[in-house]
Amino acid sequence: MGFLKFLQDILSVPAILVGLAALVGLIALRKSFSEVLVGSLKATLGFLILVAGAVTLIGALNNLAPMLETGFGIRGVVPNNEAIVALAQKTLGAETALIMIFGLVANILFARFTPLKYIWLTGHHTFYMAALLAAVLSTAGLRGVALVVIGAVILGFVEVLMPAWAQPIMRRITGGNDVALGHFGTLGYMVSAYSGMLFGRKPDDSDSIEHLKIPTGLSFLRDSLVATGLVMIIIYIIGALAAGPTFVHEKLSGGQNFLVFAIIQGLTFTAGVAVILQGVRMILAEIVPAFQGIAAKIVPNAKPALDCPVTFPFAPTAVLVGFIMSFIAGIIGMLILGAIGATVIVPGLVPHFFVGGTAGVFGNATGGRRGCILGAFLNGLIITFGAALLLPVLGDLGFANTTFGDSDFQWVGIVVGTIARLLR
């Protein structure tokens, strides 16, 4: 178990996993020692830069959430993948580790021997899905080898299935076929893309949300970081005003003026976005060439499936609009759940930013600005009601004050848990 824990610690770190993938690919291409070292380290550093940006962004969101909760009286279950997985490890740590490790092996086997040629490189989502499967399968009565084998096969399969489903849209977004999406919010992304096809207009230079016609006096909004910063400053000021200066001073800002604090947090959020974009560009510059070696030598024609921020540089305005629309849908979904007497799901800002932003990119790719707005809104409803429907199949974890926030965790948990119970 000590060795398994060591493997779990390594393989659950996306930066190490991507660095190892680059290392193997460059060796397979017979690159020089210097090229292998530089490519592997730069791929790893790119992911660490991405993580640093995400930590900065999440820290700013964690300051916004208490202001909204206090100012608007929002209470209930808050979806947070990290929190629910941490709770699961108290009783299902060994099962999670085994499912994750053998799931990675299953992913490679599926990619090698089926037409679904995708290698999943988003290590933390592998870990989260392993924890989800351990929870729902154990709640359904499975134990020991059966739990691990079934969980690993399901994990490996969804890690080739989800990227394959999203790849046609990823080709539109990236303009190529070298990179796939490896993030368990695919259901919401594809619903967003389909809604763009049905209700939007085919995006072109005039219809894409990235090409909004902005008056000359507002031309500064063409800079996506400037636009993001201004929108987030407004959101933080609203939150600070709703919570009141006393709460902000005593609980969050350490005595700093509450409006100054709000402005700085809005800009800190934007700085996190800028760092994420830089990290993504660095990863792509190294992992795509390296993966040619993996495709040629180990899994022919394989594509790397990477985390959702890989889409952000291609449509940064859609990311911001997608976040806002997904969050608005989350608030509406929360009110509906409260009105019908169901468990209230409080919109989690982290999933709504990353998942909602990516849904905005997908909707924009198929339906322009209409697709971006409608698709991200539908995504927000999906992850809100999906979180509520998932709670009953989580067993004791379902009584915790948190749950999984991304759509694939939700539908996989509901389907697997229901089938496992029916077959008991």
Residue 334 to residue 343: CA distance in whole angstroms: 9
Tokens at 120, concatenated: 């999943």
| pLDDT value at residue 396 | 64
* Token reading at 402: 């948190």
Q: Which residue has the tokens 């806002």?
A: 324
Q: Taking 80 as the threshold, does the pLDDT of residue 355 lie above it? A: yes
182 CB-contact burial (10 Å; exposed 0-12 / middle 13-18 / buried 19+): buried
pLDDT grade for 349, boundaries at 50, 70 and 90: confident
- pLDDT for position 48: 86
DSSP alpha helix (H) spans, 114-143: 123-139
The yes-or-no verdict on residue 400 having pLDDT over 70 is no
**Extended beta strands in 49-179, E state:** 78-79, 118-120
CA distance to 116, 201, 263, 332, per residue, from 103 (Å): 15, 40, 44, 37
**What distance in Å separates the CA atoms of residue 57 and residue 59, rounded to the nearest whole number?**
5
Question: Taking the CB of residue 351, how many other CB atoms lie within 10 A of it?
Answer: 28
State the distance between the two ends of the chain, measured CA to CA, in whole angstroms: 29
Q: Enumerate the β-bridge partners of residue 181.
A: 306
State the angle between helix axes of 123-139 and 2-11 in degrees (0 to 180), rounded to the nearest 10: 130
Which tens digits make up the pLDDT trace of 30-86? 889 999 999 999 988 987 887 788 788 878 878 887 888 888 877 677 787 876 776
- Chain mean position to CA 307: 7
180, 305 contact by CB (below 8 A): yes
Would you state the pLDDT for residue 255?
Answer: 87
CB atoms within 10 A of CB 41: 14
Sequence letter at residue 82: E
- Of the pLDDT bands very low, low, confident and very high (cuts 50, 70, 90), residue 372 is very high
pLDDT at 188 over 90: yes
Say whether 116 sits in a helix, a strand or coil: coil
Give the mean pLDDT of the chain.
86
| Token couple for 240 | 């600070």
Q: Is 346's pLDDT higher than 90?
A: no
Structure tokens at 342: 């169901």
Query: Residue ranges per domain, the chain?
Result: 2-422
Asked if the model's pLDDT at residue 12 lies above 70, the reply is no
> Is residue 102 within 8 Å of residue 154, measured between CB atoms?
no
With tokens 């690993």, the residue in question is 152
Which neighbouring-strand residues pair with 79? 403
| Closest listed residue to residue 319, CA positions, set 331, 308, 304 | 308
Q: Are 398 and 375 in contact (CB under 8 A)?
A: no
What is the C-alpha separation between 267 and 40, in angstroms, rounded? 32
pLDDT tens column, 244-261: 999 999 889 988 999 999
Q: Which of 211, 201, 192 minimizes the C-alpha distance to 363?
A: 192
Can you tell me the distance from the alpha carbon of 391 to that of 404, in angstroms, rounded to the nearest whole number? 9
Q: Which residue has the tokens 């929002």?
A: 74
